Amino acid sequence: MYRTCTAWIAAALAVVVWFATTIHDFLTITAPVHANVLVVEGWVWDSAAMREAAQEFNRGGYDIVVSVGILSSAQESEPMQGNSAELAAKRLKEFGLDDCVIEVLAVSNINRHRTYTSALAVKHWLADAKIHVVGINVFTLGAHARKSLVLFKRAFGQSVSVGVIAGVEDSYEPDRWWLSARGIYTVLRKTIGYLYAEWWPLPDDPRASPDQVAFLGRNSYGSC
């Protein structure tokens, strides 16, 4: 009995160690494709990784960068006032990107399927704007990357190649995430998020009808 318990404890510890040492690299995937559209998830606007997003656009040969974000309830009446998509676009501009290549896309406030609905909004906007899409790369932050990749692929289907780029997380040490409360919270939450993204049944078009998605117009900083 003692040996059996010891074996189970050893096996459990081995699983914990394996999870701790492999899960972060799995979640923070960077797998870009040949693309002419860069999508930046607006919620990362206040992270240091925004500089990486601007650098990626400059070296990646993209035609446009789409900054997409979810409006808060308070922003519904004034969607251009401080929403995450607009804030991310401003950060990109601060890092040297030209107004003419920046598209701001704000999605009406929702409580569920935020990443998936953002992906659908980008898909619809690209179709409405009649932009020829070679491929898209999604720029996001750290451990959210795997979830973003899965959901954007589910939204776009087989018609468009989708890649992902994980910006460097600066709120905890990625290589030692289990040593901080922030790291533990982030990794466990993103692990659950990935499982949801991979397996949860999603409607084809959740809350993405024209009256629920605000396409804020081409070149929001002005026409070029």
- Find where tokens 């993103």 sit: 190
Could you tell me the CA-to-CA distances from 220 to 33, 60, 90, 108, 217 in Å, in that order?
A: 27, 22, 11, 17, 6
Region 51-65 average pLDDT: 97
Region 60-74 average pLDDT: 86
User: Which tens digits make up the pLDDT trace of 163-205?
Assistant: 999 999 988 888 888 889 999 999 999 999 999 898 887 766 5
pTM for the model stands at 0.82
Interhelix angle for 114-128 vs 145-156, to 10°?
Answer: 50
Interhelix angle for 50-60 vs 84-94, to 10°?
Answer: 60
What domains sit in the chain, N to C, each tagged with a CATH number? Answer: 2-214 (3.40.50.620)
Q: In the numeric block, which tokens belong to residue 165?
A: 């780029």
Check if the beta carbon of residue 106 is closer than 8 Å to that of residue 85: yes
- Dmax (CA) for the chain in angstroms is 76
Check whether 218 has a pLDDT greater than 50. no
Return the pLDDT at 224.
Answer: 35
Check whether 45 has a pLDDT greater than 90. yes
